[in-house]
Amino acid sequence: MKKDCIKVAKKKGEPVRRLLIEFKLLDNSARINSDPKYLYLPLSRVPDENEVKLLNEAEGSESIEILESDFEEHAGKPKLEELLENVPHFEIIGDIALMESDVPEPEKVADAIMQVKSNVKTVLVALSPVEGEFRTRRFRTVAGEDRTWTIHKEYGCRYQVDLEKAYFTPRLATERVRIMEQIKDGEIVVDMFAGVGPYSIPIAKNSSVKQVIAIDKNPHAVELLRKNIELNSVENITAIEGDANVEAEKYATMANHVIMNLPHNAHYFLDAAIKLCEPNAIIHYYDMTHEDDLFESSTELIRVAAEKAGRNIEVLNEQTVRSYAPHQYNVCIEVKIL
Ligand code: SAM
């Protein structure tokens, strides 16, 4: 197909291409052409006077050359690599793309994501790390619909999440399956820090558990958890809004599994967790640890709490779940409480 294009010497191609993207002048439906010396950048419209001036500056010439040339159509959508010089890391949660705060030129990246990923309706940039008692983050909408809620699918379950109101990360998806696979028929599971339910719901959905007790202190998280119980038509879950230390008292020696996904602070809840355990129950204890002491100190905290309650422990598994920061890891220690 014939199209207007800018002919530019290859060594000047990149700054001109970037400007065309910025002005939304690059026609992504056509493949960029080249010969040994020149690039031919297809145009979606004729540049105005000011744009021509800036393109001249980028190319270092008096007058850029606009001509008509033949182009091949792009098969499908352009790739992000074709729209961006450096493609930063981003996560997709439902129809939201989520970038970290250190991504340069977030608006440009967001535009490219919206062009390439037709399922993305919102692009957010994080304004804070995971923070506070409820482990939430703040965000800014960079492109698309201004919202932080979406429906996320994971291993056959659907979760309504609101990234600003309650913790959720897709990064633990495989870890959650690993835990789910350990649960046996007829068991009772206490998820002490359940969030919107990504541990509790698949456990209740995929196994014949007797009961999952899902506790969270954040009212928004529990509201979403209740919606997700309905959304996934699961039974045998009791959603409880409250402090895990207090609520655990009501289920003493009932649990076969206790999930403690509150890295950094789970040790404050160890006495309650041990009280929950029937003999031979398993605690799945999450922590963030340094590479020089991945498991030892955390295991010692569990041992001390167990001994205080007159119980012993048997360490079943030490799992590195993911890297968290330089030299820091998210780990899971699985311990039988005898
Ligand atoms: N397990 C969920 C997941 O994987 O998405 C949520 C994990 S998030 C790291 C920790 C959760 O613990 C948050 O939802 C927070 O609201 C909750 N939380 C914090 N302190 C709590 C407490 N004292 N009692 C119960 N829940 C608490």
Closest CA to 143 of 171, 117, 169: 117
Same domain, 240 and 331: yes
Structural domain containing residue 19:
2-70
Residues 126 and 13 in one domain: no
Residues 127 and 212: their CA atoms lie apart, in Å, by 34
- Quickly state the pLDDT bin for 78 (edges 50, 70, 90): confident
Q: In this prediction, what percent of the chain has a pLDDT beyond 70?
A: 100
- Asked whether residue 192 falls in the same domain as residue 56, the answer is no
Report whether residue 131 contacts ligand 1, using a CB cutoff of 6 Å: no
**221: pLDDT confidence band, cut at 50, 70 and 90?**
very high
> Closest residue (by CA) to atom 1 of ligand 1?
194
How many angstroms does the Cα of residue 59 sit away from the middle of ligand 1?
54
What pLDDT is recorded for position 70? 92
Q: Please tell me whether residues 188 and 210 are part of one structural domain.
A: yes
Residue nearest to atom 9 of ligand 1 (CA): 262
Task: Indicate whether 75 belongs to any domain.
Answer: no
pTM exceeds 0.75, yes or no: yes
Average pLDDT over every residue of 10-19 = 84
pLDDT in tens, 171-192: 999 999 999 999 999 999 999 9
Please, what is the average pLDDT of the chain? 94
186, 332: one domain = yes
User: What is d(CA 124, CA 139) in angstroms, rounded to the nearest whole number?
Assistant: 6
Comparing 28 with 290, which gets the higher pLDDT? 290
C-alpha to C-alpha distance for 322 and 289, rounded to whole angstroms: 11
Q: Is 159 in the pocket of ligand 1 (CB under 6 A)?
A: no
Residue 166: what are its φ and ψ, rounded to 5°? -150, 145
Within 10 angstroms of residue 110's Cβ, the number of other Cβ atoms is 23
The answer to the question of residue 218 being in a domain is yes
Verify whether ligand 1 is closer than 6 Å to residue 172 (CB atom).
yes
Q: Say what the pLDDT of residue 21 is.
A: 82
Q: How many structural domains comprise the chain?
A: 3
pLDDT interval class at 66 (50, 70, 90): very high
* Ligand 1 in reach of 133 Cβ (< 6 A): yes
Question: CA 236, 317, 246, 137 torsion: positive or negative?
Answer: negative
Please, are residues 128 and 100 in contact by the beta-carbon 8 Å criterion?
no
Which CATH number do you get for residue 38? Answer: 3.30.70.2580
- pLDDT higher than 80, residue 75: no
Which residue's alpha carbon is nearest to atom 20 within ligand 1? Answer: 133
* Beta-bridge mates of residue 151: 160
Confidence of residue 81 (pLDDT cuts 50, 70, 90): confident
- The CA 150 to ligand 1 mean position distance, Å, reads 19
- For position 91, which CATH number holds? 3.30.300.110
Is 313 found in the same domain as 208? yes
Note whether 105 and 36 are same-domain residues. Answer: no
Centre of ligand 1 to C-alpha 249, Å, is 17
Residue 252 lies in a domain: yes
Among 216, 220, 251, 259, residue to substitute to test ligand 1 (most atoms within 8 Å of Cβ): 216
The answer to whether residues 62 and 16 belong to one domain is yes
Q: CA 101, 102, 105, 108: dihedral to nearest 10 degrees? A: -60
Q: Does any ligand 1 atom lie closer than 6 A to the CB of residue 197?
A: no
With respect to residue 8, please indicate whether it lies within any of the assigned structural domains.
yes
